[in-house]
Amino acid sequence: MEQLTVNPWAALAYLVAGVCFILALRGLSSPATSQRGNRYGIIGMTIAVATTLIVHAPTLAVYVDSSPMAGVPRHVDRPFNLDLVTLVEILAAIGIGAAIGLVTARRIAMTDMPQLVAAFHSLVGMAAVLVAAAAFLNPQAFGIADMVIPMIGQPFLVIHQVSRIEMGLGIAIGAITFSGSVIAFLKLNGNMGGAPILLPARHVINLTVLAAILGLVAYFTQDQSAWVFWTITALSFAIGFLLIVPIGGADMPVVVSMLNSYSGWAAAAMGFTLHNSAMIITGALVGSSGAILSYIMCKAMNRSFISVIAGGFGAVAASGGGGAKVDRPWKRGSAEDAAFLMQQAEQVIIVPGYGMAVAQAQHALREMGDKLKEHGVRVKYAIHPVAGRMPGHMNVLLAEANVPYDDVFELEDINSEFAQTDVAFVIGANDVTNPAAKTDKTSPIYGMPVLDVEKAKTVLFIKRSMGGVGYAGVDNDVFYMDNTMMLLADAKKMVEEIVKSLD
């Protein structure tokens, strides 16, 4: 077996990059330090990429006859003899990818950030698939195979058994991540409905396919035939599709977090194949942090992780509260009414949701909060863990609008205050304020902790029309309560009108 030599300077550089990634995750845990966390991530990735390019710079090679009798050629790299053509191709690929990423990040609206994250996860998954395929087709270039010279017949390459395990797991997780992220993107982008698509006997099908993948990965360690490798690939693409299609739209934040974890484990598996410690460290960090975040979000939703990935949440959406009940009596208010009520209040709790993101109303909302503070009103913002369509979506939007971090509170920290609050101002948040989650066992959101906005003295609820329902497809009883005033309009326009009325 070929012995791999480790460059001590490269190992040190990868260690520094790993520390930067850890500091990045630490920084991203709070909006107040998120910019610093992003900087650490950029520095770490720059170090990792630069080190990899230096250590694995493409060189021209010569072939020598290692066994004159067998006639088996062996290539030997010539140091300092760069293969400029290959190097230019690598740098060009990096440049093209960087340009696409920069343009996309600058042009993408904050509303579409969940779709962008899902798309990026799909690229990570596909990258893992392509690396695994390249390693399988040309294992000698990756240093993961030995040449076997039989007594009779032609020499052939035997991939190391441990490398086959890494390759099988890497391509399986990568393919699942890719196809699952594509479905998540289509659901988030509106190309597919948010309601779960329930296939007959889906659990049996999923378990059978997963068992077949695991069995083939085990068999691949004994037989490196091409049909085994490509069957694992095909089944993994299929199960990624099958796992995400039955999941309802209200679960999308958990799905995005879960796919983030998958992409990390795929990268870690490929790191072992490439003998790259930076990929192993980064993948493990992303995979573990994504898994922990998924667990935290499932706990916040009072759901088990297994029920989410099995598509259980939302599976009974049609049986309870599915349609909008527009024939029930409700009260409509104006911007002037809302401004008057909030001016007279001692405390206003603002509850943002995806409707605020769609309308891009976060800046107007921050201006409204500032105006209320000038009138002596205490203003707080209540964030539900799964508000929006990805983890931290509302936090990002409020931070973009320079809302003070001290004014933003998570569900468990502020829910008890609604009973002593004069006005709960809900802007485009339906499912996370729906009391059906506490009372209606037939509702698809039953059991999910929600913000108790109905306990406030007055609820001001902004939505476009009474005909629409939340992403989970469930009507909200808060709309029809005696203490609720509906403000039907585009969220940004309504908040701007309220701001004018506060002058």
Residue with tokens 């902004």: 462
Measured distance CA(4)–CA(11) in Å, rounded: 13
CB-based contact 357:111 (threshold 8 Å): yes
Measured distance CA(105)–CA(115) in Å, rounded: 12
Q: Name residues whose C-beta falls within 8 Å of residue 486's C-beta, 6 or more positions apart in sequence.
A: 330, 331, 332, 333, 461, 463, 466, 479
Q: Which amino acid is at 464?
A: R
Measured distance CA(262)–CA(283) in Å, rounded: 9
Q: Name residues whose C-beta falls within 8 Å of residue 362's C-beta, 6 or more positions apart in sequence.
A: 110, 352, 356, 397, 398, 400, 401, 403
The DSSP-derived string for 194-262 is SS----TTHHHHHHHHHHHHHHHHHHHTT---HHHHHHHHHHHHHHHHHHHTTS-GGGHHHHHHHHHHH
Catalytic residue among 251, 431, 452, 475: 431
Residue with tokens 């024939």: 327
CB-based contact 213:229 (threshold 8 Å): no
Residues, the chain: 503
Measured distance CA(389)–CA(255) in Å, rounded: 9
> Alpha helix (H) ranges present in 29-160?
34-55, 84-107, 113-137, 139-142
Q: Which amino acid is at 134?
A: A
Measured distance CA(472)–CA(442) in Å, rounded: 13
In the residue annotation, 431 being an active-site residue is answered as yes
Catalytic amino acids?
A: 431
